[in-house]
């Protein structure tokens, strides 16, 4: 999948986060208000994140929300840190293609999920062709979304019992994967 | 999500299904070989399909595979038939937006799944902005794909036991949803 | 022809019809104001329309004007009803490809016009890859537009006399084809 | 309307007109066979064309058919020459936006047709954002296409008699507007 | 390179230059305020410009800044006038493909620069597939931009001495090439 | 600038590098011949490259030439290594936006050039929204291209003498920056 913005008409269009107009991307800040800070994320991806969830991985995004200068440029990065046995569970990026550079450690998978089967922590840098690629964890989207997907849809769709659905909901609920 | 083909340079480019060149769409048939048959699907969507699977719904596509004239036109239709209590299980169309017209009956849902909670069969016509939108049933993609997603990814990702994963795989395996 | 919107950055962008900013599509409503009503058209296309014009057909659109949730999704539907001998006269959709599903009856044509040569009413559902495809009846665009195309352009362009142009203008003027 | 080709992956892709593969644009010539001739049209648009038709105007295109180097670049030119009282009749460019530079003389119109109401010849250079924009004269497309649009569609669509349709067909038939 | 705007949803979107919202293109003027003046540039490109700079050429643009009606149409023109021995120095158009029609005289080059090696003035009309293609003279961008590129980057990048860089800066500084 | 490929019709289209057809991207390999090797670059970017040129930096690309599975996905990475005082000289990526992650060391610049003003080597990972973004060093493109830009264009364009141009050509010629 590819997300792009082929109608570039200026060298940059820094996101104006104070605008009250929402046009499927941010309007541009006035050029006089643009500073070099709009194009940097400081040490945002330089350090590994603290992992404190069931699946054992955390995603740190460097998208237009963090770097306003990425607005309309259709490119962004993310860092994913994995503890040993950590999993970046099955997910999709609804608005982007992805390419991964392994910073540290070794990983299995690399297609729609990655698993750190080594004994040391692992980290990757992921590149996307969207300034806001999105990440959707399939399990949490189906079992813990608001509003909830009805139980009978999940029992029929996954061929499991009502009890099974409720158990999965309880376990998956508190997870927070992206910051 | 949107799939399109903005570089139209001819009025039509009927899919040449005999070509040995694969270019992320079909090459075009020579114009002299194009006939009106290339633009019709006969009674392809006119009748409801026979439903013989666990979820109680069948999708009949009218995409570029069935109508070669749709090649490069970025539009297609599908018909979905539901028996009472039938479910079109949670799925995504990785390459298209969708709009639904209800032919018969009444449906719950209409977002990422539809369920026929009425006592009569139901049918819809779905419109897509791709000549090959794709349909991916989430449960079968995760539990019955080839090659299989490793059990430990599913146990961790869905927070279920190994036994649960295997049971789901067995039940989901024989399902055939799209024709 | 293809109309699309490849720079999707959110799951939806419901048309804010109250906005005073016009940006070649509607700005997005604030998410907190979005309701499921924004994604439905009620029974909008379920029933045939009343036909009361010279050509014997009526188009009912289900585009972003009727379904605000279609904004930026690049997909829409329309229903066309034809009385016996009714014609959907030669026209173009300047911003979309089209695919047609015949609901009732039989039609000749199906390329740039359709004619109901049967003895019963006919209806079709048309799918488009734009949320606002537009429909331009060629005859009315040339002979009854505001401002009028000068008579001497039409006499030379169509090789007819001045009297012929005025007669056609009178007959074509009162027609209303789209609702 | 806009025609473009956003997936540029090379500096140029000169049309290989000898290729037997048709992919909605020309495949690229091998780079070793590309010469500067592929990027020039000699004096193609420098001189006015001979006008010998009923409407009094001729279009000379400078598109990918004439300049193979334009392939995939989504830009082209055309020259239109008008004798006094000459008309470039109502038409559409199905795959491009247009901008016009008046070389000589004065013109009325400039929207969907142009008329030389002066006493001297006139000429324009038209720029398009497609390497193959297409030009469709509405009158000839409807009254002299192959296969013919049925008479009853035209009588109903334009509200004229059968005799009128046949007269228009005869007059419009021999016209040749584009070279 | 190609700049386009594939999501056309209206026949025109005349630039509203008074808008305080900046959305990587101009928002649209209200239709009731649109006049035919929005689509013309008067005699803007009809006459040669006065050349009063070191390189001996001047570019006159006819883009969305001059013709508000070009907004979203992804097409524009420019006129370039060259005195004998005049040079349109090496440059890039960061957002468009270009095609050139020679109005008067003869030119060498035509790729990334043009030089009038004849004894008479020369002029060209350039067509672009963007309503705002941009023009960046490489020498001025590197040696006279604000803020200045550091001297040590230029000495290392171009393998010249500090004195050479300063001499080039002084000579290139006063040049004004585009109006 | 943005390069993309919005007409995705399959999950992947691995580059068929043996194809004799060139269509502005690689045709797709037959699915049966696709292996996981097509999606990996081994340790391609894991280690710093040897720097043996005048400017003191080397770019190692991870694009569709190295990873055939990137074909049509509009995403790629590159690694740039800089010795102390090393410069990635002024350049453009004609077909992509870029985002940079600093692996080691500290850099000045980061806009159109980067300079390692520290005392230790530095390395970055660059993300692009094209599978083949291209990199054009401005100095070498102008002073050492084949065929050569004529001396009089460079003397006039950069306001330097003939001797200066020849000196720059000699120094810039042997440089090899990208592997």
Compare A117 and D9 and report the one with higher pLDDT. Answer: A117
Whether the CB-CB separation of A66 and A41 falls below 8 Å is answered with yes
In a domain, A6, yes or no: no
Tell me which chain A residue has its CA closest to the CA of residue C30: A22
Task: Report the pLDDT averaged over residues E113-125.
Answer: 92
Compare A177 and B155 and report the one with higher pLDDT. Answer: B155
Q: Which of E1, E87, E153 sits opposite F115 (nearest CB)?
A: E153
B106 carries a ligand binding annotation: no
Reference A158, options B54, E7, C7, D41; nearest CA is: B54
Band (pLDDT 50/70/90 cuts) for residue E75 is very high
Whether the CB-CB separation of D3 and B10 falls below 8 Å is answered with no
Reference B134, options B95, B90, B87, B97; nearest CA is: B95
Task: Report the pLDDT averaged over residues E62-73.
Answer: 92
Task: Report the pLDDT averaged over residues C135-154.
Answer: 87
Instruction: Tell me: do B119 and B153 sit in the same domain.
Output: no
Task: Report the pLDDT averaged over residues E155-176.
Answer: 84
Q: How far is C85 from chain E (nearest CA, A)?
A: 32
> Mean pLDDT over all residues of chain D?
85
The whole-number pLDDT of residue A14 equals 86
Task: Report the pLDDT averaged over residues E79-94.
Answer: 91
The whole-number pLDDT of residue B3 equals 32
Task: Report the pLDDT averaged over residues C127-149.
Answer: 87
pLDDT along chain F (179 residues), means of 10: 45 82 83 90 90 90 94 93 93 88 88 87 94 87 86 90 91 60
The torsion angles phi and psi of D137, rounded to 5 degrees, stand at -75, 120
- Res A65 pLDDT > 90: yes
Band (pLDDT 50/70/90 cuts) for residue A10 is low
The single residue listed with the structure tokens 């907004």 is E71
Instruction: Tell me: do F157 and F81 sit in the same domain.
Output: no
A91 carries a ligand binding annotation: yes
Whether the CB-CB separation of E80 and E114 falls below 8 Å is answered with yes
Chain D residues inside the 8 Å CB shell of B28: 22-24
Tell me which chain D residue has its CA closest to the CA of residue B15: D23
Subunits with 3+ Cβ pairs within 8 Å of B are A, C, D, E, F
pLDDT, tens digit, 9 for 90 and up, residues C81-109: 999 999 998 988 877 899 999 999 988 88
Task: Report the pLDDT averaged over residues C140-162.
Answer: 88
Q: Which of D6, D76, D103 sits opposite E2 (nearest CB)?
A: D6
Q: Which of E39, E103, E129 sits opposite D129 (nearest CB)?
A: E129
CA dihedral sign of residues A178, E24, B2, B110: positive
Instruction: Tell me: do E90 and E169 sit in the same domain.
Output: no
Chain A residues inside the 8 Å CB shell of B112: 149
Tell me which chain D residue has its CA closest to the CA of residue A7: D6
Helix/strand/coil (H/E/C) assignment for every residue in A104-135: ECCCEECCCCEECCCCCCEEEEEEECCCCCCC
Q: Which of F6, F8, F28 sits opposite B23 (nearest CB)?
A: F28
Q: How many domains does chain F have?
A: 2
- Count of CA atoms in the C-beta half-sphere (13 A) of B158: 28
In a domain, A34, yes or no: no
The whole-number pLDDT of residue F140 equals 86
- 3-class DSSP state for residue C31? helix
The whole-number pLDDT of residue F26 equals 86
- Res A143 pLDDT > 80: yes
In a domain, A13, yes or no: no
In a domain, B178, yes or no: no
In a domain, A158, yes or no: yes
Task: Report the pLDDT averaged over residues D94-119.
Answer: 87
Chain B residues inside the 8 Å CB shell of D95: 8-9
Q: Do E113 and F149 touch (CB under 8 A)?
A: yes
Question: Looking at B10-14, D87-91, D122-126, which range is the least confident one?
Answer: B10-14
Question: Looking at A78-82, B108-112, B114-118, E87-91, which range is the least confident one?
Answer: B108-112
Compare F21 and C10 and report the one with higher pLDDT. Answer: F21
- Res A52 pLDDT > 70: yes
CA dihedral sign of residues B116, B118, B124, B129: negative
State the CATH number of the domain containing residue F80: 2.60.120.10
Percent of chain E with pLDDT over 70: 89
Task: Report the pLDDT averaged over residues D58-67.
Answer: 94
Instruction: Tell me: do F2 and F71 sit in the same domain.
Output: yes
Subunits with 3+ Cβ pairs within 8 Å of D are A, B, C, E, F
Tell me which chain C residue has its CA closest to the CA of residue A8: C7
Report the C-alpha gap between C40 and D59 in whole angstroms: 48
The whole-number pLDDT of residue B176 equals 47
Subunits with 3+ Cβ pairs within 8 Å of F are A, B, C, D, E
Instruction: Tell me: do E7 and E49 sit in the same domain.
Output: yes
Tell me which chain E residue has its CA closest to the CA of residue F172: E159
Percent of chain B with pLDDT over 90: 42
Q: Do C28 and A22 touch (CB under 8 A)?
A: yes
Q: Which of B1, B46, B101 sits opposite C77 (nearest CB)?
A: B101
Residue that terminates a domain, selected from E134, E151, E170: E134
Instruction: Tell me: do E39 and E103 sit in the same domain.
Output: yes
Q: Do D21 and F24 touch (CB under 8 A)?
A: no
Task: Report the pLDDT averaged over residues E112-120.
Answer: 89
- Res A101 pLDDT > 60: yes
pLDDT, tens digit, 9 for 90 and up, residues E6-39: 456 667 788 888 888 877 778 898 888 999 899 9
Chain B residues inside the 8 Å CB shell of D3: 6-9
Chain D residues inside the 8 Å CB shell of A74: none
Cis peptide before B147 (omega within 30 of 0): yes
Q: Which residues of B touch C (CB under 8 A)?
A: 1-6, 8, 39, 45-46, 62, 70, 73-77, 96-99, 101-103, 110, 125, 127-130
Chain E residues inside the 8 Å CB shell of F164: 160, 164
The whole-number pLDDT of residue F6 equals 43
Subunits with 3+ Cβ pairs within 8 Å of C are A, B, D, E, F
Instruction: Tell me: do E157 and E114 sit in the same domain.
Output: no
Instruction: Tell me: do D92 and D153 sit in the same domain.
Output: no
Q: Do D22 and B30 touch (CB under 8 A)?
A: yes
Q: Do B75 and C46 touch (CB under 8 A)?
A: no
- 3-class DSSP state for residue E153? helix
F88 carries a ligand binding annotation: yes
- Count of CA atoms in the C-beta half-sphere (13 A) of D49: 23
- Res C151 pLDDT > 60: yes
Instruction: Tell me: do F78 and F11 sit in the same domain.
Output: yes
Burial class (CB in 10 A: 0-12, 13-18, 19+), F49: middle
In a domain, A142, yes or no: yes
Instruction: Tell me: do D158 and D92 sit in the same domain.
Output: no
Binding residues of D for Mn(2+): 91, 93, 98, 112
Instruction: Tell me: do D67 and D8 sit in the same domain.
Output: yes
Question: Structure pTM?
Answer: 0.88
Chains A & E: contacts with CB separation below 8 Å: 48
Question: Looking at A6-15, A81-90, B16-25, E69-78, which range is the least confident one?
Answer: A6-15
In a domain, A151, yes or no: yes
Instruction: Tell me: do D89 and D142 sit in the same domain.
Output: no
The whole-number pLDDT of residue C1 equals 26
pLDDT, tens digit, 9 for 90 and up, residues B43-80: 889 999 999 888 899 999 999 999 999 998 899 999 99
Compare D40 and F95 and report the one with higher pLDDT. Answer: D40
Q: How far is B174 from chain C (nearest CA, A)?
A: 31
Domain with B68, as residue range(s), is: 1-134
Subunits with 3+ Cβ pairs within 8 Å of A are B, C, D, E, F
In a domain, B153, yes or no: yes
The whole-number pLDDT of residue D4 equals 36
The whole-number pLDDT of residue D17 equals 83
The whole-number pLDDT of residue F5 equals 40
The whole-number pLDDT of residue D179 equals 47
Question: Best of E2, E5, E6, E8 to disrupt the B interface by mutation (most B CBs within 10 Å)?
Answer: E6
Q: Which residues of F touch A (CB under 8 A)?
A: 1-6, 8, 39, 45-46, 62, 70, 73-77, 96-99, 101-103, 110, 125, 127-130
A106 carries a ligand binding annotation: no
> Mean pLDDT over all residues of chain A?
85
Q: Do F92 and E92 touch (CB under 8 A)?
A: yes
Chain B residues inside the 8 Å CB shell of D134: 11
> Mean pLDDT over all residues of chain C?
85
CA dihedral sign of residues E144, E150, E152, E157: negative
CB-based contacts of E68: which residues, under 8 Å, 6+ apart?
E14, E15, E16, E17, E26, E29, E38
């Amino acid at each position: 999948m590819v997300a792009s913005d082929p109608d570039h008409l200026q060298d940059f269009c820094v996101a104006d986060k104070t605008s009250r107009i929402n046009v499927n991307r941010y309007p541009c800040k006035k050029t006089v208000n643009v500073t070099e800070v709009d194009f940097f994320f400081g040490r945002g991806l330089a350090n590994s994140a603290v992992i404190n969830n069931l699946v054992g991985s955390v995603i740190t995004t460097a998208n237009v929300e963090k770097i306003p200068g990425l607005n309309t440029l259709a490119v962004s990065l993310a860092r994913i840190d994995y503890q040993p046995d950590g999993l970046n569970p099955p997910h999709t990026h609804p608005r982007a293609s992805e390419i991964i550079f392994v910073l540290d450690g070794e990983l299995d998978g690399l297609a729609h999920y990655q698993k750190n089967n080594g004994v040391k922590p692992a980290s990757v840098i992921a590149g996307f062709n969207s300034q806001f690629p999105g990440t959707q964890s399939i399990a949490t989207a189906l079992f813990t979304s608001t509003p909830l997907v009805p139980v009978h849809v999940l029992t029929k769709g996954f061929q499991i019992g009502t009890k099974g659905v409720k158990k999965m909901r309880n376990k998956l609920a508190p997870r927070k994967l992206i910051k």
